[in-house]
Amino acid sequence: MIQFHGVTLDFPVKGGAPTYLKEQVTGRFRKDGHRRSFRALDSVDLAVERGQILGIVGPNGAGKSTILRLMAGIYRPDDGTIRTRGRCVLLAGIGTGFQGHLSGRENVRLNGSILGLTDREVLERMEDIIAFSELGEHIDQPIRTYSMGMKARLGFAVAAHLEPEVLLIDEVMAVGDSAFRRKCQARIREMVSGDTTVVIVSHNMGTIATFCDTAVCIHQGKVVAGPGEVQEAITMYEALLSEEE
């Protein structure tokens, strides 16, 4: 469903020298003439098969979220190739893409249209989305009145009922009470049983171990473990954290 071959991405950096000495040492900041750039990903090879649940772990700034945005088509690589099949839905942050002045219900319709559904298709799913989110009467209140947890519930509910072929999740499952997290877990398992491919970025190793059947560890823009056994990637991630302490 997703294939990265030699994918490299640089971000331009304004200002002067790198913030941290280790960034100077590792060379992730590069200078081209008068332009300074930060190498977010460096020659990454990665393949995700249909129905697979891939976990991506790594320290802060490693490039995990960048990979998801490349998969979703938000970023384009500076070098290498990316091939994706099917409709990708990216669920990242709290209430990403929601319009604060619109109600929860109106935001569901807006997000559905952005993702390519007709208004009729969104309306057919509306009651299931509202029920899953457990927002009740709040669904007709402006999103700006929602707590972070309420926004996360609605965001996940929308993504989970749009029947994406590829679902990309960035840390969202860490939000909400334990009962809602269990509901999210059950929904993901249901989606995967229907051949939905899922990629999860998380700092919660319990989430990665529970959900994923394969994993990679990213460090300084490179794959340093996997894809392979989930525990192998987790062990590498924990070792990297220990080195930083």
Of 171, 156, 168, the C-alpha closest to 71 is 168
Average pLDDT value for the chain? 83
Q: How confident is the model at residue 25 (pLDDT cuts 50, 70, 90)?
A: very low
Of 58, 60, 61, 85, the C-alpha closest to 71 is 85
The pLDDT tens digits for 212-221 are: 999 999 999 9
Q: Is the peptide bond before 59 cis (omega within 30 degrees of 0)?
A: no
Q: What are phi and psi of 75, to 5 degrees?
A: -110, 155
The pLDDT tens digits for 115-125 are: 777 889 899 99
Q: 23 pLDDT exceeds 50?
A: no
Cα distance between residue 205 and residue 213, in whole Å: 13
Bridging pattern class, strands 166-170 and 88-92 = parallel
With a CB cutoff of 8 Å and minimum separation 6, the contacts of 211 are 53, 55, 185, 188, 198, 200
- pLDDT in the model for residue 29: 52
